[in-house]
Amino acid sequence: MTEPKITDSHCHLDFPDFDGQLPEILSRAAEAGVHRMVTICTKLKNEPHVRALAEAHPQVFYAAGTHPMSVADEPMATVEELVALAQHEKFVAIGETGLDYHYTADSAEVQKQSLRIHIQAAQETGLPLVIHARAADDDMAQILTEGFRARPYSCVMHCFSSSAELAKAALDLGFYLSMSGIAAFPKSQELRDIFAAAPLDRILVETDSPYLAPPPHRGKRNEPAFTAHTARRGAEVFGLDYADFAALTEQNFERLFAKVAAYRAAA
């Protein structure tokens, strides 16, 4: 029996953890039912390499932006630069961008500037924004809401593990919440409750690999195949059969990442 199809909506296949192992990684993903993935470029200087990964593998799509923890050390992205990258047929989202005050609060002002640039690029391209948020809930909600009121855009709160208040702010704007391995950790009941209260048509699944492997692989290197473990936990959270939950997350992914659905249709 074949596994239900799901998509890893956020991974980092260009990271050194995967060097020389991509064929096996993609093969294990396919066996687990993970038939597509979006690999995220976190520094624009690495975009050519990440683009090449997407071009070389039919199941791999990509996004690019400047990660908030890198903003202080990288050249500031421009809207024009991001819009130009978005012309590639497999470039399907803007980011990841966002705010991280847990490790890098000293660069908060530069992070905010970068976030606003990425929001504008999402507005101009119509592509979804991929948000990283940690220890910055109030500023995050404020900037996302201000931008949306000025000109609507779509967005996913990747690896969501923030407060119920930020979840509500994002959902009120029509945004999506993505479940990572954190949602499957035994001590994450409060986070699972936040997801359980969210609309089913706004849920995605991801690995954020090589980080945050879900049980039974916790503490080891994560990889796209493990999306299935998080999705099975997600199905339990919503009281659904795994195949039904997988199908719903696929519909959600294709609604948000419309360029992936269009690419598949064209193929």
Binding residues for a divalent metal cation: 10, 12, 96, 132, 158, 208
Extents of the domains making up the chain: 6-266
- For the question of whether the overall pTM of this predicted structure is more than 0.75, the answer is yes
d(CA 96, CA 40) in angstroms, rounded, equals 7
Q: State pLDDT tens for residues 177-226.
A: 999 999 999 999 999 999 999 999 999 999 999 999 999 999 999 999 99
Residue 266: the pLDDT is 80
Structure tokens at 68: 């908030």
SS3 content of the chain, % helix, strand, coil (to 5): 50, 15, 35
pLDDT at 145 over 80: yes
Structure tokens at 172: 């009120």
Binding residues: 10, 12, 96, 132, 158, 208
d(CA 40, CA 69) in angstroms, rounded, equals 14
Per-residue pLDDT band at 237 (split at 50, 70, 90): very high
Residue 151: the pLDDT is 98
pLDDT at 66 over 90: yes
pLDDT at 267 over 80: no
Other C-beta atoms lying within 10 Å of the C-beta of residue 201: 11
Average pLDDT, the chain: 97
Q: Which CATH architecture has domain 6-266?
A: Alpha-Beta Barrel (3.20)
Nearest-10 Cα torsion for 209, 82, 174, 260: -60
Size (the chain), residues: 267
